[in-house]
């Protein structure tokens, strides 16, 4: 069975319900000589909300359904009967979804937590019936109100995965193997570049009281910040991680060399939107089980010196043999404990409207 398709960008159109019209009616009953106005009010139109739903992880459903409409309010009736209000419509999205105005690109809501919701389109108010306009000087009013109009708006939904740790590095740097080794994630693993075409989330358990979420991001190449390779399509998912693990392959046949690979990815992080290069990170040299010669070990030592000169933590591992994997898990947990959980300064301002 194939896994669900990952989609992190969608455009939708939302229409609220129009309000029902007020009723023009006069009481007409046998043996009632003076029947007055009894036209009821129209019902309110339904509103449309966008709400984060626990368990959703992709926007793929919006490829097949793009128009969402709430129910309109019913018109008022005689005998002072108010029209039924229209049902609200709730559009479910994954936690971590940004809601943007489709025309201006402005961020209107940032739905990070399950249950957070945004009022996307307000339903029209029901019009008043003629019974509401009766006065001592106008006992037979023929005035009524029309229902308020519906709102129609277009939005762009943009999903940014919520994780504590992001794995970045060149294609085939060992990110998929590592996340399968340290967490419950089961990504596709193969010996060719761009095996990972969609981000994966994994739950890493340190001990009974401590755990964190890791995101395996598709490999970066030179020019990724400008769209090369899988480019900015997945760089956005790194923005909300608290720390990064920069994986650098040090196997003898990896070209260019480890230091050059490290510098290329660091440059792309610096050029990418979201100030990714400002994040706390740990450099992880991978595939050390392949090192054989003295020259191989010198390449690893050169990478270590290069990273430490930049003030970055460094650890060398083998996800295949498990060497230093436990050290990596605990070092990452320690780095997270030193990193505040507050909102990243690069994140858009949150403006989700909370409703009961």
| pLDDT tens figures, 42-83 | 999 999 999 999 878 778 889 889 999 999 999 999 999 999
Percentage above 70 pLDDT, the chain: 82
pLDDT at 284 over 60: yes
Percentage above 90 pLDDT, the chain: 54
Please check whether the domain covering 165-337 is classified as CATH 3.40.50.2300.
no
Q: What is the pLDDT of residue 254?
A: 84
Winning range, highest mean pLDDT, from 23-32, 44-53, 164-173, 212-221 = 44-53
The torsion defined by the Cα of 255, 196, 234 and 339, in degrees rounded to 10, comes to: -80
**Boundaries of CATH 2.70.210.12 in the chain?**
1-159
Please check whether the domain covering 1-159 is classified as CATH 3.40.190.10.
no
In three-state form (DSSP H/G/I as H, E/B as E, the rest C), the secondary structure along 250-285 is: CCCCCCCCHHHHHHHHHHHHHHCCCCHHHCEEEEEE
Nearest of 196, 165, 176 to residue 287 by alpha carbon: 176
Phi, psi of 33 (to 5 degrees): -70, -25
Burial class (CB in 10 A: 0-12, 13-18, 19+), 312: middle
Phi, psi of 50 (to 5 degrees): -110, 125
Residue 220: band (very low, low, confident or very high) from pLDDT cuts 50, 70, 90: low
Cα torsion 112, 115, 119, 120: sign = positive
**Boundaries of CATH 3.40.50.300 in the chain?**
165-337
Global pTM value: 0.65
């Amino acid at each position: 069975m194939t896994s669900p398709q990952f989609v992190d960008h969608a455009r939708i159109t939302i229409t609220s319900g129009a309000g029902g019209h007020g009723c023009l009616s006069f009481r007409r009953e046998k043996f009632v000589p003076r029947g007055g106005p009894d036209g009821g009010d129209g019902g309110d139109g339904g509103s449309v909300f966008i709400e984060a739903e626990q368990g959703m992880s992709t926007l793929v459903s919006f490829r097949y359904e793009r128009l969402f409409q709430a129910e309109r309010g019913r018109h008022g009736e005689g005998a002072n009967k108010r029209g039924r209000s229209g049902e609200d419509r709730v559009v479910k999205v994954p936690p971590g979804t940004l809601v943007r105005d489709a025309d201006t690109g402005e961020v209107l809501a940032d739905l990070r937590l399950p249950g957070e919701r945004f009022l996307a389109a307000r339903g029209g108010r029901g019009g008043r019936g003629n019974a509401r306009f009766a006065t001592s000087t106008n006992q037979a009013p023929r005035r009524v109100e029309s229902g308020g109009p519906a709102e129609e708006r277009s939005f762009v939904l943009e999903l940014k995965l919520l994780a504590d740790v992001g794995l970045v590095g060149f294609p085939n740097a060992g990110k998929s193997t590592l996340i399968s080794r340290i967490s419950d994630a089961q990504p596709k693993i193969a010996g060719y570049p761009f095996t990972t075409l969609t981000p994966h989330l994994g739950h890493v358990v340190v001990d009974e009281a401590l755990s964190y979420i890791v995101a395996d991001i598709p490999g970066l190449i030179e020019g990724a910040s400008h769209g090369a390779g899988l480019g900015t399509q997945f760089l956005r998912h790194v923005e909300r991680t608290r720390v990064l693990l920069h994986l650098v392959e040090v196997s003898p046949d990896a070209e260019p060399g480890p230091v050059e690979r490290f510098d290329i990815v660091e440059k792309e992080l610096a050029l990418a939107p979201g100030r990714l290069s400002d994040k706390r990170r740990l450099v992880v040299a991978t595939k050390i089980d392949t090192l054989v010669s003295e020259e191989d070990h010198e390449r690893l030592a050169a990478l270590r010196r290069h990273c430490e000169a930049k003030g970055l933590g460094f650890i060398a591992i083998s996800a295949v043999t498990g060497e230093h994997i436990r050290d990596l898990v605990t070092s990452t947990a320690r780095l997270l404990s030193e990193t505040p959980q507050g909102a990243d300064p690069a994140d858009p301002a949150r403006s989700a409207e909370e409703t009961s």
